[in-house]
Chain A
Amino acid sequence: MGIPTVTITTTEFDGLAKDTAMSEGVPDAPFVVVPHPMGMISEAEITKKADSAFAEIVKTATEWKSSAKLPEMKPAYPAERMTLKDEPNSFFFAKGWSIGLPIVPPTPDRVKEMLKGTSLAPDYVIGKVPPRMGALTIELAAAHAVMAGCKPEYMPVLIAAARAMLDPRANWRGATTTTGTTSLLVIVNGPIVRQIGLASSQGAAGAEHHANAAIGYALNLIADIVGGSKPPSPDKSTLGSPGDFVPWIFGENEDRLPEGWEPFHVKRGFKKTDSVVTVMAIYPPVENIDHWSVTPEEHLTWWGHLATPLVSIGGPCWISQMDQIHLVGIGPEHAKLVADAGWTAEQYGKAFWEKARLPFSVWPKGCPNVDLLSKKLGPLNPDTPVPITFSPDHIQTLIAGGAGKHSHYFAPFPSCFPVSVKVEK
């Protein structure tokens, strides 16, 4: 557009800002760095910071000259081979090639065996993994699958999940560098679930399920090692979570879909016989523990109340969240309760949307999008109920887990949308 810029960042985010500019192909973007923080301090303090930075801003605005260069591009295939002379786990961890859990060394023979799980050529580039922009070839995906203990038959799911994660709509760059506690949610539908033994019922997203654990681990290895997203920068997560080791990954429990309810992937435009992986970056889920309701109305009233902590991530603070898709993993017993009363999944979603609201007064006064919210919802007073999204159509449901009286609400990271990719062998 031909317009020069100066971007203000803070000492805590200087590295991320420069890495991001580099990986977006603008290695020499002009920055001025001020002492952290800028947010949550008084007006007097922020004014003082502006006064101190003013001379540097003017200098950068008028004297900046282009200097940095992009790294030289090398072929992505074949991956470098090297001779390992030491204990593999210590070596890989010291090199930054593992995330702290044990790995299986990716020897050429093991990688070759893993490649038998896909018909795609080893030199095919699935995509570039942000923020580092490491080129992810099929060969490299197989190497990570070996490291994570995958079986060859898991490869099609791993590849589909990686493709979905690298779709721009998934906003993986944002999700993996945010200060928030985000992780990947990976939902698998269709015949592949049974074929590879992916757990889809009791404790499906937890431990003791080999396919779930190995595919999830491989995905996070790819994100951290090929994508280079490691704390303290460029992964800026304030606390992080176990989701940084293995994401939330499970099959939809299609066996427990109430009569007339469609599987998640069918609602997203696929055939029932298709195998599909859907990926979305999420905040830690909210759990609905309801052992007591005997009507859908009772159940959804309680659920709406429980979900409200995550309603607050939208509203006037992150208004774009209100146009995003939010997912509810309904426990089979909760689904049965509402379906037996004649409700459809859409009715469930609409009721959840109607109940999960917070009064406008709870948001901090510093939220930036009050005017825009008012344009959408009308005049705002302290008691105005602010919904989770602008439309009930933004609430999508699936059947998640096995026996028990628990459902889960998965709120998306800002600007992250679920991306579904058909599994191809």
Chain B
Amino acid sequence: MKLELENICIDFREIALYRDFSIGFDEGKITCILGPSGCGKTTLLNIIGNIVKPDRGNLSGFEGKIISYIFQDPRLLPWKTVKGNIEFVLGKEIPPEEREQLADHFIRLVELDDFAGYYPSKLSGGMRQRVSIARAFAYSSDIILMDEPLKGLDIKLKLNLIKTFSRIWEKDKRTVIFVTHEVDEALLLGNEIIVLSKPPAEILTHLSMEIPLGDRSLDSPSLSGLKMKLLNTLGN
């Protein structure tokens, strides 16, 4: 089934962000939305997450879907340990032992086993973002929304987090909608890459990536070719 937004219209601070904008997302894929800063990417996520209602337009396929989030800032509770932070979002419907097992499982997947009992203040920025990734996956959602979660991290950390994220995702194949303004991130993480224009947003390009997530290298000729193409599209 496809998740769709149809004929969306919305203004934000008197800017017409979207005018009769339609977009579709494949389930079980990572869709990267690439666009210049201020093009309304966050607003699009807010519409999908049902946090903001569009002035006009329809959403279909999102009914009853549970969503988890990875924010730009990890947003961890400073008074809870790594494990406590993950358990915090796991609902009462899950028995406590199971909650603990789930948390442990995802802590292992993001390679923070030795830090499960640490408070966020004792972790590095990259480690905190790993916790936030583990939290998003541990939460039994249908869709993960990511709002520039790699912004502000250095390139080495970024690549590291992308690797971690891809590894977990390969086992899980959850629907992911990921917004960014960094071409490299989109190329390394997207199954689908959609480029948006300045507002009112239009879809400039839609790429489907065939290379599996783990096998991508920014240095490879195919990716650097695509990178040039995307940068050109964004530049216009």
Q: Do A and B come from one complex?
A: no
Residues of B within 8 A of A (CB): none
